[in-house]
Structures are given as structure tokens and as C-alpha cells.
Amino acid sequence: MTELAKSADDRLTRLWKEWRGFVLFIAVMVVFRSAIADWNQVPSGSMKPSILIGDRIVVDKLAYDLRIPFTLIRLARWGQPERGDVVTFPSPRDETLYVKRVIGLPGDIVELRSNHLIVNGEAAVYTELSDAEVAALEVENKPLYRFYREQIGALNHIVMLRRDRAETSYQSFGPIEVPADHYLMLGDNRDDSGDYRVIGWVDRDRILGRAHAIAFSLDYDHHYAPRMDRFFEALP
């Protein structure tokens, strides 16, 4: 080995000794975020008012199963998504990471009529929020929307509908039966969500995990100011 090669080898060995702890930490964190838990940025308003643009949501990737990191291959499965769960998954259309609410389970008969949900023949109950409840929501342009609490079985959360949106076919579908091993997803911002009505069914193996809470939130419209009241807030 020449003197030059020996010097380069010594430098690489020295660098590895100095940085191996950091490199191993990064490697462990990457695997952790892929298969155990993650925090995802929310770039769109399709889940308003529950999740806002700028929220960082905590996703439990062990909620339903254990995957080989960086793949959709399952090593073990111990649970199934329930109606009302907020989950993340790569879109079957273009692999973009989505966050939506589970509405239809395998075998369910789901219908949407003028933005009114019907599951297995049971119509959801819609209760309009009071002025005080609307005032507490962190949503812009509130006068443009109507806000309701949507309740059907264990499903209980707030949805928002545009006041100025003329009725279209986008607000109605079905009745349709959810295929085996598939789920029907909708966004809480019903008139502005690219969900089942755009991407179709979501295969069970595509579901990466369940979103439990908001880790932190930044207001992009106000110089990325932190929304302190949303830090560590549980998701409905």
C-alpha cells in the first residue's frame, strides 16, 4: 500500500470512528419511521377541520400490523382498521401519501346522498355546530362553510360543507358494496377532498398506520408561526 493510499485509509477509519454513532442513529431512525412510528406533514386541507394544513400528525405504524421496513410486506397482523380511524396510505392512483378517514369496511354497503352518509342502511345523524363551536374551529373563511357533527355508530366527528357549492354528482354515490380486503375513505372536508370519489378503493395492504394525534402545527399563512394550542392534540 502506497503512503498516499495508507493516509486516505487512515482518514476514512478516523471519520468512521468519529461519525459511526451518528450514522447508526440515522439508520435506526429511518427504520423506526418506516415500520414503527412516523410524523407526517399534512399539505392539503382535505381533512379540515380535524387536520389543518401545516399540522404534523403522529402515525402509529404498529396499530394494525408489522411491516418489513420500506415495503408493504407484512410480517404479522393483529388488528384491522375501524370505521372512523384516521389512516395514512399511498394513493393507488399515483403513490402520493394520503391521510383520510375510514368510512366503509369490507362488506359494508355505503351510500352518499347529497353529502349525507348511509352505511348498511343506517343514515348518519347531522347536528349543526353552534356559533360558539364554530368560533373555536381554526378554519379560514368560515362563513363559506357549514359545519356538522356526523354520527353513525361509533363514527363521531366534524365535517364541513361549502355553502356556495351547487349540488353535483360528486356529493352522491352508491349504494355500493366495499370489496373484501378493501376500504372506502373520505375526507372530513367533503366538498374538497380527493378520496374514494377520485382514487377508488384502498387495499388493506396499503394502509400504513393510524394517525393518533398532532405532534405540532405551523401556520403557513402567518410566517410559519406555531399553533401552540394544537401541539399534542388528539385526533377525533
pLDDT of residue 8: 53
The string of DSSP letters for 158-177 reads EEEEESS----GGG-EEEEE
Active site residues per annotation: 46, 100
% of residues, the chain, pLDDT over 70:
83
The pLDDT confidence band at residue 43, using thresholds 50, 70 and 90, is confident
| DSSP code at position 130 | P
176-235: pLDDT as tens digits? 999 999 999 999 999 999 999 999 999 999 999 999 899 888 888 888 888 888 988 988
88-129: pLDDT as tens digits? 999 998 999 999 999 999 999 999 999 999 999 999 999 999
pLDDT of residue 32: 45
pTM of the model: 0.85
Sign of CA dihedral 205, 207, 210, 215: positive
